[in-house]
Amino acid sequence: MDLIYLAIAAIFVNNILLAQYLGNCPFCGVSKRINTSIGMAAAVIFVATLASMFTWGAYYYILEPYDLEFIMTLTFILIIAALVQFVEIFMKKQSKGLYNSLGIYLPLITTNCAVMGIALLNITHEFGFVDMLVFSFASATGFGLAIVLFAGVRERLLLSPVPRAMQGTAIALVTAGIMSLAFLGFAGMAQ
List residues binding other proteins (CB under 8 A): 33, 36, 58, 62-63, 66, 68, 70-71, 74-75, 78-79, 81-82, 85-86, 89-90, 92-94, 96-97, 99-105, 158-161
Query: Shortest approach of other proteins to residue 174 CB, angstroms?
Result: 18
Query: Shortest approach of other proteins to residue 72 CB, angstroms?
Result: 11
Q: How many Å apart are CA 158 and CA 14, to the nearest integer?
A: 29
Q: Quick one: 106 or 121, whose CB is closer to other proteins?
A: 106
Q: Quick one: 20 or 175, whose CB is closer to other proteins?
A: 175
Query: Shortest approach of other proteins to residue 176 CB, angstroms?
Result: 21
Q: How many Å apart are CA 145 and CA 41, to the nearest integer?
A: 8
Q: Quick one: 3 or 62, whose CB is closer to other proteins?
A: 62
Q: Quick one: 72 or 133, whose CB is closer to other proteins?
A: 72
Query: Shortest approach of other proteins to residue 48 CB, angstroms?
Result: 18
Q: Quick one: 79 or 190, whose CB is closer to other proteins?
A: 79
Q: Quick one: 87 or 118, whose CB is closer to other proteins?
A: 87
Query: Shortest approach of other proteins to residue 188 CB, angstroms?
Result: 37
For the chain, the straight-line distance linking the first and the last C-alpha, in angstroms and rounded, comes to 13
Query: Shortest approach of other proteins to residue 83 CB, angstroms?
Result: 8
* Closest residue by Cα to residue 119 from 12, 18, 30, 22: 22
